[in-house]
């Protein structure tokens, strides 16, 4: 995966596996015979959290991040503008005023989605299908959060 050359510290962060867990006011529905899911237009997000893991290629399994990994530097800047699935941009300040740790950046990604995901659209409702974290990538003045299905 290509990491922006001005932020090589993102390499580990962008290799993380993550999944948004979204709790809604109404259940999701399958779309036809596909494994895709959607929600109705009136559904609202009750809660949202990002669960991140590391994939161990040797064992073919996922594991939780260690404390050292969570505390390692993920982004060398005092602030970051993150663009969520809906296109909304949220500015985040580094808690220490200098840089973001992996945990700080995971929190920023989750907070961005908490504030913006409700404005996303997927088959006339909130996008509850594109929930697999695929890293952050530099866009036009912001860092775009990429989500897969």
**pLDDT tens by residue, 25-53:** 998 888 877 678 888 888 999 999 999 99
Q: What pLDDT is recorded for position 87? A: 86
**Nearest residue to 96 via CA among 118, 64, 74:** 74
68: tokens are: 């050292």
**Global pTM value:** 0.90
146 with 131: CB under 8 angstroms? no
Q: Which of 24, 71, 26, 21 is nearest to 51 (CA)?
A: 21
Calpha distance 45→128 (Å, rounded) = 10
Task: Give residue 31's pLDDT.
Answer: 82
Measure the CA–CA gap between 141 and 74, rounded to whole angstroms.
Answer: 18
């Amino acid at each position: 995966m290509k990491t922006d050359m001005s932020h090589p510290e993102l390499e580990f962060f962008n290799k993380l596996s993550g999944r948004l867990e979204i709790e809604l006011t109404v259940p999701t529905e399958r779309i036809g015979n596909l494994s895709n899911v959607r929600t109705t237009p009136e559904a609202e997000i009750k809660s949202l959290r990002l669960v991140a893991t590391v994939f161990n290629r040797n064992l073919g399994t996922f594991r939780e991040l260690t404390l050292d990994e969570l505390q390692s530097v993920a982004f060398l800047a005092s602030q970051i503008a993150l663009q969520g699935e809906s296109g909304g941009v949220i500015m985040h300040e580094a808690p220490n005023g200098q840089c973001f740790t992996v945990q700080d950046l995971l929190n920023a990604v989750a907070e961005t989605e908490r504030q913006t995901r409700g404005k996303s659209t997927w088959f006339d409702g909130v996008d509850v299908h594109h929930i697999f974290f695929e890293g952050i990538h530099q866009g036009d003045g912001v860092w775009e959060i990429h989500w897969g299905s």
